[in-house]
Structure 1
Amino acid sequence: MRIVYFIFFLLNSFLLMAQSSTPILVSYELVRTYTKEALQQKWKEQGVPQAVAPVRYSIDVYEIIYRTKWHDGSTIQASGLYFVPIDTTKEERMPMVCYHHGTQIKRDRKVRLGGEQAICVGFAADGYLVARPDYIGLGKGEKKHLYHHVPTQSGASMDLLRAIKELNPRIGVVQNDLLFATGYSQGGHATMGFHKTVQEAYSDEFKITASAPMSGAYDLAGVQEETMFKEYSHPGYLPYLFFSFQEVYGFYENISEIFKAPYDTILPPLYKGKHSMGYINRLIPSVPKDVIRPEVVEQYLANDDFPFKKALRENSVHDWKPEQPVLLCYCQADEQVSYKNSLVAYEQMKANGSELVRIKHVNKHLGHNDCAMFAVMHTKMFFDSFRKGSKKGNAGPLTKRFLIGIGKSSVAKKAKKRRRLRAKALATQE
């Protein structure tokens, strides 16, 4: 009998240790409720047709604090938002969307009906559960954000989904078997990395139904690398990558070995999470490489094994073979993320033998920000098709696509007019 008790003790101790090392829910708080009527009114004010973005539910928004892993394997806390349709039947099982947001450098994150949170609300209003990780180091999380670092981005997403799985019984939510992943800009890269990571290492735990990465820098060491050496709308992205990868890989002992004066002293305080990317962009040269020491640039160009270049390759996410459907959305006039990222990813995945990847050129005239809303609409129609029984996904109803096309044409005309006016103003200045 003593042996039986001893074995039971060992098993129990093992289970407790396993649980203590597993990232779990720390806390949750209901922080906002959007009523169906208020959302319908908001959509009406913004000219969003109910036929394109139906509002069928009110929504509760929870802020979640949970445990995840820092790049060295230690346990830290991260945060995220959870959007839950609330006026459902008790028996209703809902699909899950893991939404990955775009580049954010300010640590603080408010809960508001705007920006990419409005995208999450749009999904939830039509019956999707939506998990929105802040990533590591943003929101109310610990440490610093590791920009475009695939392992921690993917880990933050998986651990939020694990925390939500623990939370759902407490708030009376039942999830079905459909799991989608999407995101825009950095979120496109994070989505692709999440899907790739799950397929390669966590497919026993997570069953992805489909993903839709949108306008992401998938080929960091190839296509997106070109932005370093020419006039670029967002030169602040490059130091963000350097600071993040320096934290993980430890290229140099001192940051002044990377950045030339005066940027070796100007830049570090700007990336503490209190300034916007727009503010940073205005303080540094428009050609990103011009903040870097010339000898570092020369080494980067001459040596394929240069540490930063190797880090970019390691965190590129275009070269793999998806085993679940993938929809890549992009706009050709994107000034922040080269549309060629999507083309390269699509062609490489097809070359690797994937028959489940498809590509959607949303519009040739829309820039990065304007492209987002329409890319999301195509993504939602793609996801909706799985809810209706499709196995590989489709483009959605013709009527919806027609209405979206009208909206795209209107916004594209305004975008072209803005570009003409900017070009005329620049010509006048010269």
Structure 2
Amino acid sequence: AYRGGAPSTGDDFSTLAAWLYSAGGRATVAPDYLGLGTGPGTHPYVDTASSVSASVDALRAARQAAAQHGRTLTRDVHVTGFSQGGQVAMAVGRELSRGVDRHLRVRSLAPVAGPYDIAGQELPAIFDGRIDDSSAVYYLSYFLTAQNRLHHLYDDPREVYREPYASTVETLFDNDHTEQEIAKGLAPNIRALLTDEWT
């Protein structure tokens, strides 16, 4: 959720993971998703199309950069990701297998702990208590805010969020607040966060 935690800032776990893969002798890319890192705008959280596009573009850029340095990369791509990255890894693997770029083919796929079935698993788990309150509130708030920017789910935050959160939740997810700042400003549980119509 915080643009400063993206790979291009060099200040995130994903950067460390990329270095570890590179240390094994692989050409490695760790893409920023739209709205994160040094890019403009807000991040469309869990928007598959934009995340796949950013990832495939990073792979294409890596091929060009390698060529400029006299290196040749194979077509084989090994894709992994954690959390949202797990969901993106699945989608990138699908698009590579469909031939999104003739110079790239998926060789292996290792998605980890992603939101693969939001409607069938994630949302029921949020509302029946299988996901702890702080995580449920954080990710549902982020998801609804980001998806509303893309798909117009509501006209006014007060339709979805109870006060005092209705006045602040969209501002918290502007990608300029750290995860700690966001968590401090959110409701303690889903019932305190959402209006009756949205629970």
TM over 0.5: yes
CA shift, 1:248, in A, is 1.3
Give the TM-score normalised by the residue count of structure 2.
Answer: 0.87
CA shift, 1:200, in A, is 3.9
Which of 134, 144, 153 is residue 233 of structure 1 equivalent to? 134
SS at structure 2 position matched to 1:211: strand
Is 1:166 matched with 2:64?
yes
1:259–1:292 Cα contact (<8 Å) kept: yes
SS at structure 2 position matched to 1:213: strand
Residue 219 (structure 1) aligns with: 117
Is 1:286 matched with 2:184?
no
Higher normalized contact order (CA 8 Å, seq sep 6+, divided by chain length): 2
Is 1:106 matched with 2:2?
yes
CA shift, 1:201, in A, is 5.9
Give the TM-score normalised by the residue count of structure 1.
Answer: 0.42
Which of 17, 30, 34 is residue 119 of structure 1 equivalent to? 17
User: Can you list the C-alpha shifts for 1:78-124, whole angstroms capped at 9, x where unaligned?
Assistant: xxxxxxxxxxxxxxxxxxxxxxxxxxx11124325x62322111111
Structure 2 residues without counterparts, runs of 5 or longer: none
Q: Separation in 2 of the partners of 1:227 and 1:195?
A: 26
SS at structure 2 position matched to 1:188: helix
CA shift, 1:245, in A, is 0.8
Residue 176 (structure 2) aligns with: 274
1:182–1:188 Cα contact (<8 Å) kept: yes
Letter in structure 2 aligned against 1:251: L
1:232–1:287 Cα contact (<8 Å) kept: yes
Compute the RMSD of aligned alpha carbons. 2.0
2:75–2:104 Cα contact (<8 Å) kept: no
CA shift, 1:277, in A, is 2.1
Residue 151 (structure 1) aligns with: 49
Instruction: Look at both structures and tell me which one has the larger radius of gyration over its CA atoms.
Output: 1
User: Can you list the C-alpha shifts for 1:205-227, whole angstroms capped at 9, x where unaligned?
Assistant: 53111110011111111211134
Q: Separation in 1 of the partners of 2:42 and 2:97?
A: 27
User: Can you list the C-alpha shifts for 1:174-224, whole angstroms capped at 9, x where unaligned?
Assistant: 212321100111111111121123334626453111110011111111211
SS at structure 2 position matched to 1:134: coil
* Alignment map for 1:308-387 (pairs within 5 Å): none
2:165–2:187 Cα contact (<8 Å) kept: no
Which structure features the higher share of strand residues?
Answer: 1
SS at structure 2 position matched to 1:210: strand
Residue 412 (structure 1) aligns with: none
CA shift, 1:172, in A, is 2.5
SS at structure 1 position matched to 2:76: strand
Judge which range, 277-286 or 182-191, deviates more.
277-286
Q: Separation in 2 of the partners of 1:233 and 1:255?
A: 20
- Give the share of equivalent positions with the same residue, in percent: 24
Residue 35 (structure 2) aligns with: 137
Shift >4 Å, 4+ stretches: none
Residue 206 (structure 1) aligns with: 104
CA shift, 1:251, in A, is 1.7
